Structures are given as structure tokens and as C-alpha cells.
Amino acid sequence: MPDRRRALLVLATLVLLALASFWAALAAGSIPVAATDVLAALLGHDAPGADIVRQLRLPRALAGFACGGLLALAGALMQVLLRNPLADPYILGISGGAGVGALFAIMVGLPTLGIDGLAFAGALGAMFLVFGLAHGDGSWTQTRLLLTGVIVAAGCGALISLMLAIAPEDRLRGMLFWLTGDLGQAASAWPPMLALAIALVLAMPFARELNLLARGLMQAQALGVAVNRLRYAIFLLASLATAASVTTAGSIGFIGLVVPHLVRLVTGNDQRLLLPASALAGGALLMLADTLARTLIAPQQLPVGVLTALIGVPVFLFLLSRQGK
């Protein structure tokens, strides 16, 4: 039976996990910083490596936590909205739209702010395009929404390939890093942190209604859920959360797909626990993956999207093969 005390216990455990991951992100790197020095740096004292921790690693760790949390939350919401366990935050073309915007900005040589601005504009454009087309005749069925999203994503994919083909040689590396996701490009950690907090605060009051939505539209309606309004709200919320993350760190893969499934294995499918737990676990996992991406072959950095996918693909295949039994 769903139990508030058990939920708090699971969340407390995940908070500890996130803190451990946070500490690793601050301490590890090409210049290791001792635990006591990390603490001193966080408290604003002077210590060996304090500048590295405060100016380089802290914003990056926070951005990682926020983006991981946003992606996992958006993934969990999309899976309920589409009633499809294989849905992820990018399935409806949000990251594709952002990708078109960001790559265009990189190709023509805009500064970071321009890249972020165009990425966010692209994500919003894709969102409204999918919303308008899927809504169309007012039926707004899951199949229609999914099909529209997948088609828009495919269109964006074609534009991205086109830009990669015609982009000047020296811009290609930046474009590829953006596409696989890179927390090093995060300008500031606060916008995504704020977005994560707002998204959670907006989603949580509807968590029990989402449980019903996952069981079927008419069932949910019959049990007292204002289904259409809830679906619009969830679509907008998940899309904006995805846009916030993609704008910050590019399209980091697999967090949004795998984390809700991993959490579901432990907690079951009660959204009241699943949503905050996914946000915490997603944040912790992305901070960890990013730390690995910085340190595995330091001083060279790997794109974090490659690591999340390398961790995510086998885990997901394992889960999928278990599900069949």
C-alpha cells in the first residue's frame, strides 16, 4: 500500500546518494581536492584548491544535478502522458528543435548567450508546433501526439544533419559536443536549478491524478480527473523542463528514459514518490557521469552524453529483457 513514511525513507536515501555524488563531483578531477578542503571551500574559507572547487566544479556539479533532475522528471511525465514506457523527454521533438537552434547559432559563430537563446527558442518552437498539429481537430489522442512529435523530431534531425554537412570544419567539434551533451558549456547553474524547483512544485500536486492518467484516459476521467486540462499542463511542463535542460547542457541522452525506469523498479509506479525520486536520482546520476567524463582520460574531457548512454544502454536492455518474463 502507498505509504508516506516509506516514501520519505526512499527520498532521504536518494538525498544521501545525491550528496555523495555531489561531493565526488567537487573532489575529483585532474587536481584532486581533499574532503576537508572541499568543505572549507564550500564554507567560503581559503583552502588548497578552493578556487577550483568554487569557480569550476561547483557550478558544473549544480548544473549537472539540475539537468539530470529535469530530464528524469520530464521523462517520467512524458511516460505517463503518452502512457508509453519507452517515451523519453526528447520523443516529442523538443531536443530536436533546440538542436536546430543551437547548431545554427554555433555554425554562424554566435556567443554562448546566442547559442542558449536560439536553443531555447528552437525548443519552444518545436513544442508549439507539436502542440498545434497534434491538437488539430481537438481529438488530441496519444497516438496523434506521439506521431506528430516523432515526425517533428525527424524533421529536426534532418536539419541537424544538413547543418553538420555544411558547417565549417572548425565549428564541427563544438556542434558535436552540443549534440551529445556537455555540462562544460553551462553558463550558469541557477536557471536550471530554479526550473527544476518550479517543475517539481507544479507537478507534485497532480501526482495522484497522474497515477490515474497512467491507467487510461477514460478511467481517469471517470474517477474524477479533469483529463484534458491535466494533459495540456503535463505536456507544457515536461516540454519546458526538457527545454531548460537542453538549453543548459545540450541533449544529454538516456537519463530521461532510464532513470524513471530504474526508480520504478525500487519504488513502484506511484508518481507521488516516482517524480521526486526520479529528479533526485537523475541529478545524482548525471553528476556522477559528468565526474567520470572529466576524469576518465583527464585532462581530455569526454562528452557526458556518451557516458550516460554507455551506462544507460546496457541497464535499459537488461530491464527490457527482464520485463518480458
Partner 1 sequence: MSIPLLAAHGLSVEIGGRRVAHALDLTIESGQRLAILGCNGAGKSTLLATLAGLREPASGRIELGGSPYAALTPRAAALRRAWLGQMQSDPFGSTVLETALTGRHPHLGRWDWETTRDADLACSALAAVGLAGMEARQIHTLSGGERQRLAIATLFAQAAPLYLLDEPLAHLDLNHQMAVLELFTGAARDCGAGVVMVLHDPALAHRFCDQALLIDGDGHCELGAVDTVLTAEKLSALYGYRLRQFEIDNQRCFVPD
Comparing CA positions, the residue from 240, 234, 229, 232 lying closest to residue 207 is 234
Residues 6+ positions from 176 with CB-CB distance below 8 Å:
164, 303
For residues 212 to 251, the per-residue mask of contacts with partner 1, x marking binding by CB under 8 A and - elsewhere, is: x-xxx-xx-xxxxxxx------------------------
| Between 222 and 320, CB nearer to partner 1 | 222
84 lies in the binding site for partner 1 (CB under 8 A)? yes
Footprint of partner 1 on 256-275 (CB under 8 A): 264, 268-270, 272
Footprint of partner 1 on 155-214 (CB under 8 A): 205, 208-209, 211-212, 214
111 lies in the binding site for partner 1 (CB under 8 A)? no
Chain centre to alpha carbon of residue 132: 24
Which of 54, 83, 144, 171 lies at the binding interface for partner 1 (CB under 8 A)?
83
CB of 268 to partner 1, least distance (A): 7
Query: How far is CA 216 from each of CA 22, 141, 151, 274, rounded to the nearest angstrom?
Result: 38, 12, 24, 18
CB of 83 to partner 1, least distance (A): 5
CB of 283 to partner 1, least distance (A): 23
Handedness of CA 239, 243, 246, 249 (dihedral sign): negative
Residue 38: φ, ψ to 5°: -60, -45
| Between 209 and 290, CB nearer to partner 1 | 209
Q: 17: burial class by Cβ within 10 Å (0-12, 13-18, 19+)?
A: middle
Question: How long is the chain?
Answer: 325
2 lies in the binding site for partner 1 (CB under 8 A)? yes
Q: Which stretches of the chain bind partner 1, using CB under 8 A?
A: 1-4, 79, 83-85, 205, 208-209, 211-212, 214-216, 218-219, 221-227, 264, 268-270, 272
